[in-house]
Every structure is written in C-alpha cells, then in structure tokens.
A and B are shown apart, each in its own frame.
Chain A
C-alpha cells in the first residue's frame, strides 16, 4: 500500500451528492481477476457516451465532454472534491480500487458511506470530512481558479488552500498510523517479521522436512 504523508494535488470537483459505488464502477466490471486496471472505467457511465463493457479499448470510446474528469484543466488530479454520502451502495472494494487506479489519493466530502469509509483507507485512499459550508466554499474556489491545488498534510491533519488558509480534519489514530506507514493487514503482520523468522528458525529444528 502506498504511504500517505503529504500530498499537494490538483483538485477535481464532482458536484453531486450520494455518489454510489455503481456510479464509481459499474457491476459489469467486477468479473475481473484483478484489482488493478479499473481506472479507465471509473465513473464509466458519466465519463463515456457509449455503454461500457469489460475489455474495451477506452481510448476509442466517445468521451462525454461535459464530465468534469474529461476537461483538460482537471487532467492529472489527485484529490476529488464531492458532496455528502460519498461511496454509498454495495460493499465492493472495486470502488476504492478504481479511484486509486485512476490516480486519486484523497476524497474530500462532507460525509461518506460506512463500508466505503472502511474500505478506502485499506487501499491507501485518504477520506477527509469537512463541514458542508467549507466544502461549498472549496467548490467555488476550485471552479474559479484553474490549476487549483490543495496541500494535504496527514501527520498534521491539515488541508491548506492556495491562499494559505489552514483547515484541520479528524482521522482515526489507527487508520492514520496505517496510512502514514503504508500498512495494510499484511503490513501490520510484517511488523512481526522477526517473530515469524524466529519461529521458523526454532521450528525447523523440530520439523526440518517442512522447511526443505
């Protein structure tokens, strides 16, 4: 999992409440044997004018010019700004996989759906909750200023706007630790790597055939 400390990233505004997981990644893409490669189908129904199915060449599909991620000024964005209840719907982990695969590092919204809220940080995606009034203001600033970036500092738990305004946010200490260290469940177990190695060294005396 990619570590998250500071990210100074271009912001894309998705001005819509209740962005659900079907919208994030439609169900026909779940048959895949992979957890990467969902990026081209992120927001598939909003992004393209034709119907999406697995295995298409995305570069040949007609783009919806009105969709925010298709506008030249938002190319390469790493921070998604959205409205309340982001990530509602099914439990599919494909939703955070798709956002991360596209290149997003963080989503900023007034609130998030529960399961998505649990899934996202396990995949290195930081979710930041800010007051609705603050979010309103950020939407205005993003739209008014091309190249608008936000500086996220996870250790300090702050978001800094281009004008120097510092907004602080809450984050669960355990998740914060895991994100900063880039630790998933496996990462946490690997912190005990020495204990595992010590076990192997001792056990290989008793049952050498297991280790040969």
Chain B
C-alpha cells in the first residue's frame, strides 16, 4: 500500500494501539527548556520516578534568558528578573540532578531549542521528537515526526518515553515553480496561512512538497515547518532528500561510520510514496508569491507588501468582518491603507522562525552600508544560538548590523514572546521575523507585523515597510 511520510513515521513508532482509539507512540528525542519543564521534573520526583531513557533528552534555557551582554556575562546569577532567574536555575538544577545533557546559559551551544536541536544533529530524519513548545513542528523539516506538548506530557515522555496520541489526517501543501528573487521561505508559509487560514491544518499532519520546497535549504524548510502550527497543524513535514542528508552529516549527535551508512539507507525511504493518498491537497504557484506582511492580529491576516490593508467589504462573512474590525482597531490601521505607509517603531530579527545564519545573511545583505531610520526606537538582531552568533561574527555580519545601527544581542527567544526585557511599548508597530502577531505577544498593546528577515531589514532602513525586491 502506498503510504504518506506521516503514515510511515507513525507506523515505525507505534508501540501499542489501544482499544479506545488512542495509541502509544514511542518518542526518540525530547528537547527541554526552562518554562514548561519544572513541574514535570517535580512530578517525577514526587512519584519517585526516573527518566526512562536519559540520553533521549537534551535541554537548554531560551525563553526568558536576557539577551544583553551585561546580564549574560555573569551567567544565571546575572539575570535581573527574579522569576526568570529561578526558572533558568531550576532547569540547571533539574538537569544536574537527573543527569540530563544541558547547554547552559553561557555555553556557546545554548540557544532557542528549535535552532539548537537541528544544529547539533539532535534532530534526525525518521525520529519522533517532542518539546514543551508549540513550534516543535520546526523539526518536521527533517522528515521527523515532531509534536509540541504540554507540561503533563513532558513529564509523561520523561517517565515513559511514550506519548498518548490519536492518528491525524494527511494534508499535502504542494508548492511548485520558482520563487522570485527576494521572496523567501517565510513568504511561502505566510502565503499558505493566508490561503488556508489559521485553522486550515487543524487535525492534520501537514506535509510540504513540490519543486519550490525541494529547492529550499534546510533552514528554509525549518522556517516553513515552524509555522505549520500557525495554520493549525501540530505537525509539519518535509520528505528527506540529499539536502537533508548533506545538512545532517558530521553534526555532533549524528550517527557516524557504519551507522551513518545504515541511517542513510533508511532515511532515503522517508518521503511520501508517489501514489500515496492525502485527505486534502492544497496547491500554490511559487512564482506568484510576493513578499508578505501581516497587517492584523492573526497570522492569516496577511497580504503582499504591494497590497493594501483590506477593505471591510471584502470580508467573506460577518464573523470575518468583525474580527477584521477588531484587528484594525488594535493595530491602529485604516481599511485600504497601503502596507508601505505603515510606520514602524521597532524591528526584531530573530526567533525560532528566522534566526539562523542564512536569515542573518539575508538581513545583513540588505543592511550593508545603510543606516537604520532615525525614526526607529530600536532595531534588534538576536541570533538563534551561540554557534549562529559565532558564525555570523566570523563572517563579519555583526559589524554590518552594528554599523547600520542595529543592536547585536546574545541568543534567546527575546522579543518573540517578550518574557525578558525585550518588548514593545503600547501601540508600537514592529516589523518582526517571528511567528505570532497575537495581541500583546511582543508586549502589552504592541503591534506585530510578521515578515521575512530581508523585509525586516529593509523596513528598518526605510522606517516603514518597503518592497525588498526594490532595495
């Protein structure tokens, strides 16, 4: 029988099908961070349990580590915010106590979990992987079955190495054709979400395929899978090909020698069969995708940079009209306003969606030899990990950013969710390379516009949105 990639991964990890329709799925890897793990460890301790398989786990603090050099120099004790400091310290203590590998705050390998996993080869094709964070879908770019889970599930996986799941349906997003220059993976996924809506993928495992996906780098594929959750899908997937193998080879946690050859033979089977059937198929023409900018408070409220904020008459129904009205009010925008007329207060380049080396190169190429607009209060560049930061510095990207007037920070989630000091003020507009533009996400009353790294850098220079293709 012809199988989808999701079917294959599911079958390979099925420990037991239960009568009530749920299944025990074996989990190969768990990534841990400081926010969703403390009560899970506490639960283990209370019940007198040990982690089922220690080596399955890898931890790093990311959500509320500070990103200024001043606070970071001292390590954990330098974190000024007490709640943050306690959470980071608790992760250290728990990992030490149970013997879990952790990249601590000042380890060069520390960073956002979804950047660190792939970078270390801790994310491998054919794996099942969980993390107490909804953007775990990122790892699906490696033909891995990756789920975001809650704290009780974190504990469940720690203790049993299994997750209780129901099988999802199969959705194929087929993107064919060539992207225009200046259009990126971020624009593809924003266009997909604009097309199918934030609930379009609910209940599905969402596989991305087609010539436009095949020609993306691994980093681009991660950006796409990262935001599958923003289209409602808990799981995003891309089949394994030579690009995947080339990326994984030689990474610290990747198999070596004989194991590598064996792995490659297996991994090459990890794609949907040619005649596999999907429950739903959505097709997009890559050549028609333009640089995207979100205007509202949900990632589906997105248009091309050449476009305008929608007129309310264009709403499909009353519900949409109402949510558009509310979004416009929150965002302080007028119907029909040109996207390029939106003035910005801050720019954020970072997050697990767009903080890898290629993202920084893309932004630096735009920023090079230019200056951040004087009207901006702040333009932040926050690399996704210590290693990304090192690499960027070796390439001189930090200098390009600093000379252009950007701040160059230490790795972490930062202004993506504003759990640390990096946040928007009330009413401020921000061009952000992150993944969520919900109300208050980047700070109380803050107004987020989701864009690609190149678009964010161009907006920082201009002080308002501009078409990066004309830059």
Contacts and interface: CB of A to CB of B under 8 A. Distances in A.
Interface of A: 1, 31, 33-36, 184-187, 189-190, 192-193, 195-196, 199-200, 203, 206-212
Given A199-B15, A209-B255, A184 B47 contact: yes
A186 B83 contact: no
28 contacts: A33-B39, A33-B90, A34-B39, A35-B39, A35-B46, A36-B42, A36-B46, A184-B47, A185-B156, A186-B47, A186-B49, A186-B155, A186-B159, A189-B24, A189-B160, A189-B164, A190-B159, A190-B160, A192-B15, A192-B162, A196-B24, A200-B26, A203-B12, A208-B262, A209-B255, A209-B259, A209-B263, A211-B55
A186 B15 contact: no
Contacts of A195: 15-16, 24
Contact of B26 (A36, A186, A199): A199
Contacts of A34: 38-39, 42
Contact of A210 (B47, B52, B87, B127): B127
Contacts of B12: 203, 206
Contacts of A33: 38-39, 42, 86-87, 90
B197 interface: no
B156 A189 contact: yes
Interface of B: 12, 15-16, 24, 26, 28-29, 38-39, 42-43, 46-47, 49, 52-53, 55, 83, 86-87, 90, 124, 126-127, 152, 155-156, 159-162, 164, 254-255, 259, 262-263, 266
Contacts of A190: 159-160
A185 B255 CA distance: 34
Nearest to B90: A33
A103 B339 CA distance: 60
Given A186-B156, A203-B26, A196 B87 contact: no
A212 B87 CA distance: 30
A195 B262 CA distance: 25
A208 B255 CA distance: 9
B255 to A, nearest CB: 4
B266 A207 contact: yes
Q: Which A-B residue pairs are the 6 nearest by beta carbons?
A: A209-B255, A33-B38, A189-B160, A199-B15, A209-B259, A186-B159
Contact of A192 (B24, B127, B262): B24
Contacts of B47: 1, 184, 186-187
Residue of A35, A36, A193, A208 with most partner-chain B CB within 10 A: A35
Residue of A184, A206, A207 with most partner-chain B CB within 10 A: A207
A32 B289 CA distance: 46
Given A186-B155, A190-B159, 5 more contacts: A33-B39, A36-B46, A189-B160, A209-B255, A210-B124
B160 A196 contact: yes
A207 B126 contact: yes
Contacts of B263: 207, 209
A1 B39 CA distance: 14
Contact of B16 (A192, A203, A211): A192
Nearest to A187: B47
Contacts of B24: 189, 192, 195-196
Nearest to A182: B47
B133 to A, nearest CB: 17
A184 B164 CA distance: 13
A12 to B, nearest CB: 23
A194 to B, nearest CB: 10
Contacts of A211: 53, 55
A203 B162 CA distance: 14
A34 B55 CA distance: 24
Contacts of A185: 152, 156, 164
A185 B155 CA distance: 10
A184 to B, nearest CB: 7
A187 B42 CA distance: 16
B42 A196 contact: no
A203 B15 CA distance: 10
Residue of B42, B126, B262, B263 with most partner-chain A CB within 10 A: B42
B26 A35 contact: no
Contacts of B55: 211-212
Contacts of B15: 192, 195-196, 199
